[in-house]
Chains A and B, each alone.
Chain A
Amino acid sequence: MKIKNIKVGVLRIEGTNCEQESYDAFKRLGANPELLHLKQLLNIDCNKDEKRDVFDYQCLMIPGGFSVGDYIRAGAIFAARIKSKLQKNLTEFVKKEYPILGICNGFQVLIELGLLPGIDDAIPSSPEACLYLNDSNRYECRPTLLKHENNGKCIFTSKIPKNDIRLIPSAHAEGKLLFPIDRQKEYLKKLEENDQVVFRYVDPEGNYGGYPWNPNGSISNIAGICNNHGTVFGMMPHPERTFYKHQHPDWTRAGLGDLIGDGQAIFESVLDNISKRF
């Protein structure tokens, strides 16, 4: 299908707050995004023309923010509301390999939903991983460098060469990826075998660095992972915040070049993939 016909549902509830720049990212590339309140999918308080179905869209995105204040655990309430009524449709959506993108709070929601890590096809009833409080125990807003380590499974990074390092900033308090404590190695191994590790935090020399380059203490420096089909993808850093070069924190040193920022390729990749597959 043509890119201009690709409908992207940018989901929001109270406390979602990166929806505008996420919407803009898809819009700038010629797709047809829509800001979509979860209640429109759940059919609550909607006029007829406001009702929506997940299959109205070829791609869903859960943007960053503090859904419902993140008061219980980041993303937990958003996920619970989705599960309450949409579980079946969403499972079907994933099964049909329509892409879902979760950034920051969206990644937290995908973990809470059990759609990630998504090592096998069964969606577990309780989460298999968590994005825990940063090691620094505080909110961190800082530039981070991500090394692309995926071998081709993730459809959101197909336009990024392997081992490329991208400047995509982080801004979160809960971003430390953890698996069940007694099975950490097992999970890591499976993720790597399945080519589900997408981004790792590195320092400016390209080495796996400690804090602050890994801003949260995430296991094995992981910043983003996809499911075993490569169609559900979550990452803590914000690619929509380096869509253009002038959003980079150091552009006055590095120059503006063609204005294309390091995060743009993620949105391009998924649109390209959808246009070829559907």
Chain B
Amino acid sequence: MDLDSLFKKKDAVSDCYIIDIFSATDNQLQEISNKMGLALDKTEMKRIKDYFQNKHRNPTDIELQALGQAWSEHCCYKSSKVPLKKYIYGIEEKKIVAREDAGVIEFDDDHYYCAALESHNHPSAIEPYGGAATGIGGIVRDVVCMGAQPIAFIDPLFFGPLNLPFKQLSKGVKHPRYLFKGVVDGIRDYGNRIGIPTLSGQVYFHEGYTGNCLVNVGCVGIMRKDEFIHSRAKAPGNVYIYVGGKTGRDGIHGVTFASAELTDESEESSRSAVQVGDPITKEPVIHATLECNKKGLLEGLKDFGGGGLSCVCGELAYSAGLGAEIRLDNIPLKEEGLHPWEIWISESQERMMFLVKPENVEKVLHICKQWDVTAIPIGIVIKEQITRVFYKGEKILEMDMNFLTGGPIYDSCTRPFVQPKTDEHEKKEKSFRMSDLNDVLKKLLSSPNVASKEWVIRQYDHEVRGNTVIKPLQGKLGVESHGDASVLKPLENSFRGIVITADVNPRFMERNPYWGACSAVDEVCRNLVAVGAKPDSLLDCLNFGNPEKPERMGEFYESCRGLGDMARALCLPFVSGNVSFYNESIKTAVPPTPEVLGIGIASDIRKCLTTDFKSEGNPIYLVGKQTEKEMGGSEYYKTYGIDSGIVPKTDTTVLKNCMNGILASIDKNYIVSCHDISEGGIGICLSEMAIGSDIGAVIDLSQISPGLRTDFKLFSESNTRWILEVKHGKHREFESLLKKHHTLFKKIGSTKSNTVIIHDNNVRFVSLSVDDIRNHWKQPIWSLMG
């Protein structure tokens, strides 16, 4: 039988097809999957065949499409389950109130905060503006559907080099500058319009992202404890109310699209998988949803994510051990002629699903109407664990919940992996002569990964809602510098703060996924502590290449092991996360990129610190781990084209002691500014502290790791280190407090005039005015992006 004759019209009215999988050969099963865009493999198709053979009937197209969605990599994490379970889950679980669309954690006696982080990589690589905007739209729904008011966005972004020559672009790949601008425009136009501040993030440039940029989006929300709502039904009879935007062909097969590599044809073939965002539909949906929830009218709440109606209806009922009966006839459509299967799996944006008691339906519809938000009852929760869908009077889908939404359990699906080779980079480094360190410092300041990100930050509204008390750009007005983390004061009557940061170093990751992942957690903790916050929880967005390749899977395992080891030692739970595989284009995979978002708690925001030097004559300390020759993946080596060296390691005992020591000194008001040491080492750290203040410093490196060459002292990126400016006259108390916490420190100089001067063993290596430093740091991205 040829393939087409396996598709038969089901009946005269419902516009459904029956697919004769009983007659299909194994190869034809695969062809059916391909033809329908299901992204299911032969084994999975055979499993489906078995199921329907037991039911003595062939499936409809909508049933196969629903299975394609429910079982795809994106929805049920088939490659990642094993390593995640082994390394990431089970850490400090008691702290996690819920882990649904967003993770929920206690903020104070009366409030929870919640947070979510996910990727929107493939859509953004095809259509940067729409892809990024809808990424924001999706993540905000994840927070709203827990019942929380969104209060912050976090956007880590990864692109190829901005100055990449056009002739080096492969076919179908867009220039990093175009992607960067499009993504920032998308985040700006969507985030600003819905009135949630974009507070934090990361912008990183690396050749590995040229063919496949990464756009990760995070959102944090706050709610009263009694406003917290689950994404599950309460009882049979609960009414499904469809709320928000219309359903269209945009975003069809988005889930399956995310589960395949990008090719040079993705542009043409995948545009329909990128949704269209509409912030001005979304904004009132947020209001209406939160108002209904505050008034106690909702039994369950879930946003439309991957898989559309299919996933949202199924999961709300499945998680409660119940079933669903849905009618597609009244779903508002963007255009006529959508097939029922398209309605069922479309991922159009700006939609939420409410579950409401029958007696509250009218009240909910009234609130939505006031906000001009479409709200339509479309079905009910039923006792049997079955999903049924009707269209034009015909039953077009009927499957057991356990089979459809439960998804296959891939016990045997441990993908093969090989241990990444990390020693190649660590083999003996070639020696080289040290250049003039003034020149080196200037070069590093202009490196796009170090240089000012003002071009991005000022396009995002980071102050709307009025809760942002430590901003992403910090320091003296007009000369602000980068901060380590941003701080929100989310409650009117409390000075308790939520502190947010996000980080990963892709150059560490590609050399050593284990220590790279450890470094990411170390840096997130450093950032939080630098502003005066105790790390409270972590989120991860794991962006990797094709998991069917054992090398990629090996990177994934090692990264998870690193994240897990750190989190366990620090007693920090991963409250939410996301896995994004297949970030791979024709040429290369992205560097393994486990973005880590860290949330900390500041017990009193009035004690928080910024990175800018505060006044002349204050002693400057280097606090933390020994500075070592760990130059693998450093900005210094990158700038000089050296592809070797050891990736920085961490020691959680040292880290814990340092965090306690620094937080105790901040609490005692001994410290006036603090900055963590990361890309570009001590040299860049000191520079940024000076940039934000117009105050220079006189530094002597002699006491730091004697015997180490001066350039390594200055630009090593060893973990667990901070520079602190201590209040004049408090240095004795400060030192004894650090000693009490077994925290290592060295006094290395003091703030002075407006020049940064650095000595080592009585030789002056650096002498640059703060203005000179600022000019090198401030311009690069502006001049590339205009």
Contacts and interface: CB of A to CB of B under 8 A. Distances in A.
Contacts of B474: 249, 252
A66 B193 contact: yes
A145 B471 CA distance: 17
Given A21-B465, A39-B370, A141-B461, A249 B280 contact: no
Most-contacted residue by chain B among A68, A143, A213 (CB, 10 A):
A143
Contacts of A14: 280, 283-284, 371-372
B463 A141 contact: yes
Nearest to A209: B478
A104 B477 CA distance: 21
A258 to B, nearest CB: 13
B370 A17 contact: no
B193 A246 contact: no
Nearest to A243: B466
A143 B479 CA distance: 11
A210 interface: no
A135 interface: no
A47 interface: yes
B617 interface: no
A47 B492 CA distance: 30
B83 interface: no
Contacts, number: 113
Contact of A247 (B372, B466, B477, B673): B466
B194 A17 contact: yes
A46 interface: yes
B608 A249 contact: no
Given A15-B280, A68-B280, A246 B195 contact: no
Given A66-B280, A249-B471, A21 B372 contact: no
B84 interface: no
Contact of B188 (A39, A139, A142): A139
B458 A141 contact: yes
Nearest to B278: A69
Contact of B605 (A47, A50, A167, A246): A246
A240 B466 contact: yes
Interface in B432-456: none
B370 A45 contact: yes
B303 to A, nearest CB: 19
B119 interface: no
A241 B468 CA distance: 9
Contact of A69 (B280, B470, B471, B609): B280
A246 B489 contact: yes
B719 interface: no
Interface string A40-53: 00000111001000
B112 interface: no
A266 to B, nearest CB: 14
B617 to A, nearest CB: 15
A250 interface: yes
Residue of A15, A213, A243 contacting most chain B CB atoms (<10 Å): A15
A21 B466 contact: yes
A253 B609 contact: no
B477 A18 contact: no
A252 B608 contact: yes
B6 interface: no
A252 B610 contact: yes
A167 B476 CA distance: 13
A167 B457 CA distance: 19
Contacts of B476: 250, 253
B374 interface: no
A138 B283 contact: no
Nearest to A212: B478
Given A139-B459, A142-B458, A256 B606 contact: yes
Interface in B233-287: 279-280, 283-284
B608 A17 contact: no
B192 A241 contact: no
5 contacts: A14-B372, A47-B366, A140-B459, A212-B478, A253-B476
Top 3 nearest A-B pairs (CB, nearest first) are A17-B195, A21-B466, A69-B280
Interface of A: 14-15, 17-18, 20-21, 24, 37, 39, 45-47, 50, 64-66, 68-71, 138-143, 145, 167, 169, 171, 203-204, 212-213, 238, 240-241, 243, 246-247, 249-253, 256
Given A14-B371, A50-B370, A141-B461, 17 more contacts: A15-B279, A20-B465, A45-B369, A66-B192, A68-B280, A70-B193, A71-B280, A139-B461, A140-B458, A143-B477, A171-B463, A203-B478, A204-B477, A249-B471, A252-B610, A252-B612, A253-B612
